[in-house]
Each structure stands twice: as structure tokens, then as C-alpha cells.
Structure 1
């Protein structure tokens, strides 16, 4: 089985280019320079209508931290319901408490609001105090289908050993380790074979000039797709 390829989209054009070039799934965000914030409802609806592959939508109300107050949660739960109503495949969320642990209560409330949508826990995971203990917590939530992680490093390419351990820890569960942040076309083949990941996440690495705010480069997406297919 080929490794799943998820690509970040910030516009309808991004979404179309990535889907045509071989992405398996999209992560739809706005404000990529801030690590991704909740996109507008209009953008979510337009992207869902424009592509046939699954669209996962980030729900993140601000970029201050991953510790949220009651008002933040009220906003997030509204957004999660709107994402579901817009026809998206899943939501991408993440929350921690003040001690750097997964906020289980907050996560449970989001899962309830998502009402069956697939949940990806995003890179808030990388700021958790203990990655292995945190993955254990997430494995206890049936709705959490993916954990997006760079292995606690700014670039996932510097965390191969950690990713390999997390992949082993999640093996046989309902949850996939989605490796991302810092992946490049040149590095992806070796990274996948050394870590045994089943899913990779690309942002800047498949954009024009490898710039986060640039459009998706369809040729780069197609290259990654071909490398992943050759690696199966």
C-alpha cells in the first residue's frame, strides 16, 4: 500500500492543483505563516465543492498558544459544527492544558461536536511534555484518526528516531502517525523507508520556491506522489 500524501491548501487553486497532482487528502488552513488558523466558511464550502479527495479543516481560533479558555472553546465548537455542515471529511485540532498534557475534556467536547468526523490532532502534540504519554492518551480516543507530528523538532527530518518509535507505538491501532514539517521532495523517500511512516504531510515542501506563502507547485506534488508510489 502506498504512503498517504496530505497537502496543505490555503486557496481553491491550491486544492485543485494538489488533488490533480496526486494528493490523497487536503488540510485546509488560512494564515499559514501563523501555523494555520481556521479558514472562512466560504473557502471551506468552495474547496469541498472543487475536489473529490477528502478535505480536513483546521479549527484553531488564534495562534497565541494551544491552551484555550471557555470563550475559545465556544468558538471552536461552533466552527467544528460549521465544518461538518460544509461537507468536510474531518477536523484538525489540538489542545493542551497548562501542564503540557493533552486537554482530554476539551478534546472530548470537540469530538462530540464533530459528530463522526475524522479527527486529526495537530502539532500542538509536539509541544506536549511527553510525546509517548500523549500518544497513549490520544490512542484512547476512537475518533482521533491521525496525529500530525514533527517528533517534537522544528523539522521532522531531525526526529527520525522519535517518529520511528511513535509509528511503532501506534501500530495496529485506529490512529496513524502523520509525519510533517520540514519534509522535502529530495528527503521524502529515505525518510519514509527509515521511519516506516504510513502518511506524510507537506506544506512549504511542495510550494513554489519552497515558500510557505507561495502557491502549490503541482510538479512537486506529482514528484512526491511518484516517489511514495515507488517506495511501497
Structure 2
């Protein structure tokens, strides 16, 4: 297995996708509306991104801000969105929901998995708000397609979550810890050496790829700086 670290970059559209790819991104997380921390994009947006780049694209399934899937009507809408994206050719996804007690919303997760046709997917930063991270991982251990956790180790970001991330990296391969650790959320270049030394092989950036802010497109130069740091 290559030791090259995976670099995932948030994209909002095809322009971002091309810029991220040219800077050295290995994969995209495609979202809409970063003011709400990333929601499900339109089918047409996915189609344009898929036509523009050849790297993997993980599409966000999330219709409202926060980590609840909402009521039955909201979950139905989420399932329809997933079906539409699958019909458009999407085959990798990002989602993750908690119930009112901070436990994984297994009903919603299983409904989505049922329409994803074996697609691989990331459980996103809802894990950072979970009542019990370890228990969540054990509950989700056998859910089909789950191969990655996107986490900062803490709701406050990587600065605060570094001890949790290092502890989880050390448990790789244990039951519930087979999935890749994709570190993101307040991630800085200064964190990279310690995380790499601990065996973390996947990194996720959003704002760090846009020095001019979310109103401006991804900067290929900023992505290239991360690529260089991960390859060092």
C-alpha cells in the first residue's frame, strides 16, 4: 500500500474542482451552502463536477444545518436526494446523523445506505458531537460502505482534538476502528507532522484551500502547499 497521504478538498462547483485537482487534491467533498456548514448540492452541480475532473467525488447528503436528520418528511427528502445523485452517477457520499441523545441515528443511516447501492461513504463530523465516540464507532462497525470518519477529534477543532485523534489512530484495525481517519476541521499545516507520524493518512481542508475566503474559489497554490507538506 502506498504511504502517500490522501488530500480531500471541499468543492462547491466545477471551478473549485478543477483548481483543487490541479493543486494536487486526491478527492473532493462536494457541498453547497458553506454558511450552513455544507449541504447537499444540486444534481446538476455534481454532473458538471464529474465532467470536469477525473478524481473521486464524495457528495454531501445533508439538507439542514446541524447533526439531526430532522423528521420523517426530512428523511424522505434526503433519500430522494440520494437517489437523484445516484441516478446522476454519484458513487461516493458523506453523511452522518445523531439522535437527540447524541447517539448515531441508525434508522436514517440505514435508509440512506439502502439506496446507495454499495457506495463507499464517510461519516462526517457528527462524530465530534457524539455522546460517546467509541460507542458510535462500534454501533456503525458493520454498516455497509462506511470506510472513513471525518473528524477533528473535538467539536472545537483539531487544536483541541489532537489527543483524541492520536489515540484513535493508535487503535486502527480494532473493531470499530477499521475505517480510515480523515482529519479535518480547523486543521493547520503545523498539525501535519505529528499526525503523519502517528499513522494518519488522510487529510481534509476547506477554508485552508481558500485564503481569500469562501466567496472566492479554491486556490490551486494553497492546495499545492498542502500537497507538498503531506508528501514531505
Deviation at 1:16, TM superposition (A): 0.4
Deviation at 1:108, TM superposition (A): 1.1
Check conservation: 2:129, 2:155, Cα contact below 8 A: no
1:147 pairs with 146, 149, 166, which one?
149
Alpha-carbon distance in 2 for matches of 1:213, 1:169? 39
Aligned ranges 1:86-165 → 2 under 5 Å? 86-165=88-167
Deviations 1:118-141 (A, max 9, x none): 111111111110111112222222
Aligned ranges 1:163-174 → 2 under 5 Å? 163-171=165-173, 174=178
Alpha-carbon distance in 1 for matches of 2:117, 2:198? 33
Check conservation: 1:139, 1:170, Cα contact below 8 A: no
SS at match of 1:2: coil
Alpha-carbon distance in 1 for matches of 2:181, 2:127? 11
Q: Which residue of 2 is the match for residue 175 of structure 1?
A: 179
Q: Evaluate the alpha carbon distance shift between residue 68 and residue 166 of structure 1 in structure 2; reply closer, same or farther with a 3 A threshold.
A: farther
Deviation at 1:89, TM superposition (A): 3.1
Deviation at 1:65, TM superposition (A): 4.2
Alpha-carbon distance in 2 for matches of 1:164, 1:140? 23
RMSD (Å) for aligned C-alpha atoms? 1.6
2:190 pairs with 176, 187, 192, which one?
187
Runs (4+) of structure 1 exceeding 6 A deviation are none
Q: Which residue of 1 is the match for residue 22 of structure 2?
A: 20
User: Residue 203 in 1 paired to residue 206 in 2?
Assistant: yes
1:31 pairs with 12, 33, 38, which one?
33
Deviation at 1:214, TM superposition (A): 2.8
Deviation at 1:112, TM superposition (A): 0.8
Equivalenced residues, count: 228
Q: Which residue of 2 is the match for residue 80 of structure 1?
A: 82
Check conservation: 1:56, 1:92, Cα contact below 8 A: yes
Alpha-carbon distance in 1 for matches of 2:149, 2:79? 20
Unaligned runs of 5+ in 1: none
Check conservation: 2:98, 2:105, Cα contact below 8 A: yes
Check conservation: 1:33, 1:213, Cα contact below 8 A: no
Deviation at 1:197, TM superposition (A): 1.2
Alpha-carbon distance in 1 for matches of 2:172, 2:142? 11
Alpha-carbon distance in 2 for matches of 1:85, 1:114? 10
